[in-house]
A and B are shown apart, each in its own frame.
Chain A
Amino acid sequence: MHELAVCQALMTEVQRLSLAFPVTRVVLRIGPLSGVEPRQLQRAFEIARAGTVAEHAQLCIEPTPVRIHCLACDEAADVSVNRLVCPRCGGFRTRLLSGDELVLHSVDIDRPAPTPTGEHPCATPAAAT
């Protein structure tokens, strides 16, 4: 339900980073313990991107596993969202290694390649004449 709000925050950040160039891809890393549902976020993105620099952008959501470290037996293990206990010794004193990420990882921007001379591209035609 709150994925649209999350998506609006994402769009604000993407627009800021794009410097108004078209955005081709947005990569997020989302863990199941972040409370955000990737499928709903995908649908929210299709609505939120309309009329923005990310109008034709692809949204890639890299899911992260729920992984814990057991403080009792020093073991790391992948577990389910509501069983954050050590599968080996049953200990519940665990530390979350991954699974609660809600991270904007990268944004691909379609911007012109720098000129070989490193000159400002606007200046090139003027310099030729």
Chain B
Amino acid sequence: MCNTCGCNVTAGNAHLLDRAPGGAVDVLKGLLHANDEQAGHNRAHFDEHGVLAINLMSSPGSGKTSLLEATIDALRDEFRMAVIEGDLETENDARRIRAKGVPAVQITTGTACHLDAHLVHSALHELPLAGLDIVFIENVGNLVCPASFDLGQHYNVVLLAVTEGDDKPAKYPVMFRAADLVLVTKTDLVDALGDDFSLARARDAMRALGRETLVRTVHARRDAWIGPWTDWLRQVVEMHRATLRPAPMARPLAPPHRASLGS
């Protein structure tokens, strides 16, 4: 095979060249096509086992792991849960989850600022999917890059701690547009912030993104108050189960020739 005379053009790949006079190949394909394909595979994997997957994204330190700890405490009798943790370094978060008696796989990304579908896929092989109801994927703390990578999750939940300020949706529109649910966290601190955080302004900033995204408030430390979040979770688990339930196979009421067969 050479690169000059065209002898590497085969019946299998010639169509790529044939429809492109002048050497230009029209592609019109998503740049992250390979990631998206893997994400689709992950999603099929989750669905096959009836598992709901939730991607948690936020800035570092907005309370993702604390929220998960409180969630495990609140829902351990209702759902079988597991967590995939993404961080640049350390097993700290996975250790905190395991201490609650829930399986956790830590992905350390080194210098990569986000999880991608391939990383999540390898983590999935370490989880007993068949015995689970919900897998939480705690993404790398970052309001920029994780928004661009589909992991195969069913829902994106973005946390916004009151200490971050209410204009985060305006500053990071790509991330907040990706959210199916925005959880305003650390609301037990809101009094200490005075006028620095207003829930109404945060909602306005979300609405300015042209989305009617649900915004709910929680706090997960000490007297954890996470009811709005656990209610939403129960609801989406139920919705997901309903979509996976196989529809009864359609068949005609009077199949032809049955009478003549004597059945």
* Interface flag for B190 (CB, 8 Å): no
Interface range for A = 35 or more
How far is the CB of B135 from the nearest CB of chain A, in Å?
23
**Do A104 and B116 have beta carbons less than 8 Å apart?**
no
How many cross-chain pairs have Cβ atoms below 8 Å apart between A and B?
140
**Do B177 and A19 have beta carbons less than 8 Å apart?**
no
Partner of A17, one of B9, B25, B149, B208: B25
Partner of B212, one of A5, A25, A93: A93
Interface range for B = 35 or more
Given A21-B3, A105-B28, A122-B6, A94 and B35 touching (CB < 8 A)? no
Cβ of A39: which chain B residues have Cβ within 8 Å of it? none
The docked-state distance in angstroms from the alpha carbon of A110 to that of B23 is: 6
**Do A19 and B8 have beta carbons less than 8 Å apart?**
yes
Enumerate A71-113 residues with CB–CB distance to B below 8 Å: 81-85, 92-96, 102-112
How far is the CB of B37 from the nearest CB of chain A, in Å?
11
Q: What 4 A-B pairs have minimum CB-CB distances, sorted nearest first?
A: A84-B210, A2-B145, A35-B174, A94-B210
Interface residues of A (CB under 8 A from B): 1-2, 5-6, 9-10, 12-13, 17, 19-22, 24-25, 28, 33-36, 68, 81-85, 92-96, 102-112, 114, 120-122
Interface residues of B (CB under 8 A from A): 1, 3-9, 13, 16-17, 20, 22-35, 112-114, 116, 142, 144-145, 147-149, 169-171, 173-175, 177, 205, 207-212
